[in-house]
Amino acid sequence: MLRLVYENLKACGRKLILADLVAKSIAFVLLAPLVGLLFRGFIAASGRTVLADTDIGLFLLHPIGMLAAIVLSSLAIAIFAIELGILITLSLATHLGRPISVRQSIHFVASKGALGILGLSLRVVLELLLCGLPFLALGGGIFWFFLTDHDINFYLTTKPPKFYLTFTCIGVVLVCMAGVLVWRIANYIFATQILLFEKADAASARSLSSQRAVGHRWTFCLWLVGWATINFGLGCLLTFVVGSIGKAIIVWAGSNLVVLAAAVGFAVGLVALANLLANSFANATLGSLLALSYANHARPDAFETSSFDGAGDNTSSWKLTRLRLISGLIIGILAAALFGGSILRSFELNDSVVITAHRGGAVAAPENTLAAVESAIELKADWVEIDVQESVDGVVLVVHDSDLKKVANNPAKIWQTTAAELQSVDIGSYFAPEFSDQRVPTLAEVLARCKDRINVNIELKYYGHDQDLERKVIDLVEAADMQDDVVIMSLKQKGLQKIKKLRPNWTCGLLTAVASGDLTKADADFLAVNSTLATKPFIELAHRRGKEVAVWTLNDSVSISRILSRGADNIITDDVALVHRVLKTRKEMTPIDRLMLELSVFFGVDGKKTNQWSSDDAE
C-alpha cells in the first residue's frame, strides 16, 4: 500500500495539493461564514449573545446547545469529507488510468455527493456521540467520586496520590474510548467512495462500507494511525526547519527597519505557507490512501468506472520561466515588506497599563489576606483583586476556593460554615511561618484597609450557593464610600447583570478563560481574559467597542512584555514587583528588541537574551 500511495502521489501529487488548496479556499470563502452564521443563530436562540466559560457547558447541556453541537459538528465533518472526496476522485481517476483535472473533480463531487456526504457526516457524529457518551460518563463519575471532596485547587496544588490515580484511570478510559471510536470510524472507510461512485445513499453507503471492512478493520486502523504518526513527524520536522530559517532571517536583518520589515514579512509568510503545504500534503496522502484502499476492495460490477470516461486531463502545462521567476521574486519582496511593516506598526511602543495584584499579590503573601493587600499597596499596584463569597450565616468573606483545604488543610466548606468558625483558622502558615496570624478577612475589613490607598477589583465567586451576594457587596462598598474606587467582575454573567440592574453606573467586567462567539460584544464594561485570548486583533476590536482588556494571570517576564506589546490595559499578576521590573526594562529596549520578544514563541527567538534584558529582570 505504501508503494501504491507513493506511485499515486508521484503521478498526481501536484494536482492533489492544488485541489486541496482550492477546496480550502472555497470552504473559507463560502462554507466557513455559513458555519459562523449558524453558530450565532443557535446562540441567539438560547437567549445569549456570547458564551464564556461555564456558559459553554450549560449551553451544550441545553437542547438547543445539543442540537447546535450535532449540526455544526456534522457540517464541519462534511466540509472535510467533501475536500477528501475531491482528493479521492483525483487519486482514483489517476489510478484507473483516466486522469481528470482539478476542476472536473470538484464538479464531480459537488454534483454527485455533496448532500449525501452531509447526511453521512450526521450519521458519523451521532454514532460516535453514542459510542463516546458512556466513556465520558464513566470518566466524569471517576472524577466526581475521587476529586470532589475538596476544592479542585487543593488537588491541583498539592497533587495527592489519589489525584494521580484519578487521572490515570480517566486516561485509561479515554484511551479505550479513542480505540472504540477509531474502530467505529473504520466502518466508514469506504462510505464516501461508495456514495460517490456507486450511486448509494448515506445509509446504504455506511452499511456497505461496514460489510467490506470486515476482516480488514485492524489493517485500516493501523493505516490511519501510521498516516497520522508519519504526518505529525513530518510536520514537526518542517516546523523546526522553517522556524530556524525564519529566526536566522530576522537576526540577519539587524536593526535596519526597512530590511527588518521585509524579513519579518517573509519569515512569517514562510512559516504560514509551510504549515499550509504540510496540511495539504497530509490531506493528499490520506485521499490517496482512501482511494487506493477502496480500489482494492470495490465490487467491479458496482463501481462506475465510466464516471471518468472522456474526461481527459486538460490541466494546462505551466513552466517556470526566468521572467516569471524574477516577477514572482519582486512581488514577493514587496508583499513581504508591506506585511512586515504592518506587523512592526502593530507593536505598542509606549506602555500604558495598570497593574492589578491577583488575590492581593499571592507571591509576596498568602492569597486573599490583609497581609497580601498590604504588600500590594507597598509594591505600588494600581488595583488589588480579591474574591468574595458568603458564609452560611451570610457574611461576605474574602476567599477564593470553595473550602480552606488548600490554604489551611481544613475541609470546611465556606457556605456550610459560620464566619466566626472560618475566621478562627490559620490561613497563613502554609505560606510562611511569619504569616501565622493571618485569618480569612471580611470584605468590610479589606475595603477599610484599601480606602484612599488602592483601588479594589472584587470578583464574585459562586459555588452553587448564593443567598444575596450582589446586594450585600453593593451595601458594603457603599457603606465604605468606595463605589468610585471599586469594579466588579465574575465568570457568571447573571451576577454581573444583577449588579448592573441594581447599580447601572458601576463598572463590571466579564472574567473569561475560554469563549465561543464574539466576546467583545458581551454585556460588560471591560473584559478580563486569559492570555490565550488576548491576541492583538482581539484587544484592538475590544478597544473599538469601548471595552478595556485586562489579562490574567501573568507571572513571567516574556509573557508580560508580549501582552504589553499587544496593547492590554491591565496586567493581573501574582508578582507585582516583576511587572514593575518589566516596565522599567522595556523603557530601555529598542523597537527591535521588542519585536524579537514578541516573535520569541513564533520563531524560537529567546526574548530573554536580548541585550537590554538582564537575567535578573527576566527570571
Is 269 in the same domain as 395? Answer: no
pLDDT band at 254 (very low <50, low <70, confident <90, very high): low
H/E run at residue 185:
helix 161-186
Q: What is the DSSP string of 353-387?
A: -EEEEGGGTTTTSSTTSHHHHHHHHHTT-SEEEEE
- Which are the contacts of 359, defined by CB distance < 8 A and separation ≥ 6? 367, 368, 372, 385, 386, 387, 400, 574
Q: Do 506 and 394 sit in the same domain of this protein?
A: yes
Contact partners, residue 270, CB within 8 Å, separation at least 6: 242, 245, 246, 249
> pLDDT grade, residue 609 (50/70/90)?
very low
Question: Where residue 314 falls among pLDDT bands split at 50, 70, 90?
Answer: very low
pLDDT over 70 at 53, yes or no:
no
- Checking if the pLDDT of 49 tops 90, the result is no
| Three-state secondary-structure class, residue 148 | coil
> What is the DSSP code (8-state) at residue 438?
-
Read off the amino acid at residue 226. G
Q: Both 420 and 551 in a single domain? A: yes
If you average pLDDT over each of 87-91, 206-210, 222-226, 608-612, which comes out highest?
87-91
Instruction: Return the SS3 of 215.
Output: coil
Residue with cell 504569616: 435
Burial 526-551 (b: 16+ CB within 10 A, else e): bbbbebebbebebbebbeeeebbbbb
Q: By CB neighbour count within 10 A (0-12 exposed, 13-18 middle, 19+ buried), where does 249 fall?
A: middle
**Which segment of 127-131, 266-270, 276-280 scores lowest on mean pLDDT?**
266-270
- 518-533, pLDDT tens digit by residue? 888 888 999 999 988 9
Does 338 share its domain with 392? no
CA angle 246, 552, 433 (to 5 degrees): 120
More reliable by pLDDT, 74 or 334: 74
Given a contact cutoff of 8 angstroms between Cβ atoms, the answer to whether 299 and 88 are in contact is no
Does pLDDT of 320 surpass 90? no
Same domain, 212 and 74: yes
The answer to whether 167 and 178 are in contact (CB under 8 A) is: no
Same domain? For 387 and 329 the reply is no
Note whether residue 491 is domain-resident: yes
| Window from 347-351, 446-450, 483-487, 602-606 with minimum mean pLDDT | 602-606
Domain that residue 282 falls in: 2-310+322-343
Pair 360, 281 in one domain: no
How high is the pLDDT of residue 390?
A: 94
Beta bridge partners of 458: 386, 488
Please indicate, yes or no, if residue 160 is contained in any of the structural domains: yes
Is 553:360 a contact under the CB 8 Å cutoff? no
Top-confidence range, 7-16, 207-216, 381-390: 381-390
Residue 546 lies in a domain: yes
Do 585 and 605 form a contact (C-beta atoms < 8 A)?
Answer: no
Beta-sheet strands, E only, within 163-265: none
316 within some domain: no
pLDDT at 309 over 60: no
Residues 442 and 485 in one domain: yes
Is there a domain that residue 348 lies in? no
Most trustworthy range by pLDDT among 79-88, 260-269, 572-581, 609-618? 572-581
The pLDDT score that the predictor gives to residue 317 is 47
- Lowest mean pLDDT, pick from 169-173, 312-316, 520-524: 312-316
β-bridge mates for residue 512, sequence order: 529
Would 601 be classed as within a structural domain?
yes
Tell me, what's the pLDDT at 615? Answer: 38
Cβ 176 vs Cβ 161: under 8 Å: no
The verdict on residue 289 lying in a domain is yes
Quick check: 350 pLDDT over 80?
no
Q: Note the pLDDT of residue 528.
A: 94
Residue-wise pLDDT tens digits, 229-253 = 888 888 888 878 887 787 777 677 6
Based on the fold, state whether residues 445 and 509 are members of the same structural domain. yes
Same domain, 212 and 305: yes
Q: In this prediction, what percent of the chain has a pLDDT beyond 90?
A: 39
pLDDT surpasses 90 at 227: no
Q: What is the crossing angle of helices 63-95 and 102-112, to 10°?
A: 130
Average pLDDT value for the chain:
83
Given a cut of 50, whether residue 563 has pLDDT beyond it is yes
Q: Which of 200-209, 234-243, 315-324, 385-394 has the highest mean pLDDT?
A: 385-394
Q: What is the distance in angstroms between the CA of the first residue and the CA of the last residue of the chain?
A: 52
Segment among 5-9, 251-255, 374-378, 524-528 with least mean pLDDT: 251-255
Q: Residue 369 corresponds to which amino acid?
A: T
Cα–Cα dist 306/96, whole Å = 11
* Same domain (yes/no): 405, 473: yes
d(CA 6, CA 599): 37
**496 phi and psi, to 5 degrees?**
-65, -40
Query: CATH code at 540?
Result: 3.20.20.190
Task: Indicate the pLDDT class of residue 348, thresholds 50, 70 and 90.
Answer: low
Average pLDDT over residues 586-593: 71
127's enclosing H/E stretch is helix 114-146
Per-residue pLDDT reduced to its tens digit, 491-549: 888 899 999 999 999 999 999 887 777 888 888 999 999 988 998 889 999 999 999 99
* Residue type for position 198: E
pLDDT of residue 108: 86
**338, 401: one domain:** no
Question: What percent of the chain clears pLDDT 70, i.e. is strictly above it?
Answer: 82
The total domain count for the chain is 2
Q: Cα separation of 90 and 100, whole Å?
A: 7
pLDDT at position 578 over 90: yes
Q: Is residue 349 part of a domain?
A: no
- Given a contact cutoff of 8 angstroms between Cβ atoms, the answer to whether 472 and 458 are in contact is no
Tell me the three cell numbers of residue 427.
490561613
209 pLDDT more than 60: yes
Q: Is the separation of the CB atoms in 397 and 422 below 8 Å?
A: yes
- Winning range, highest mean pLDDT, from 168-177, 182-191, 263-272: 168-177
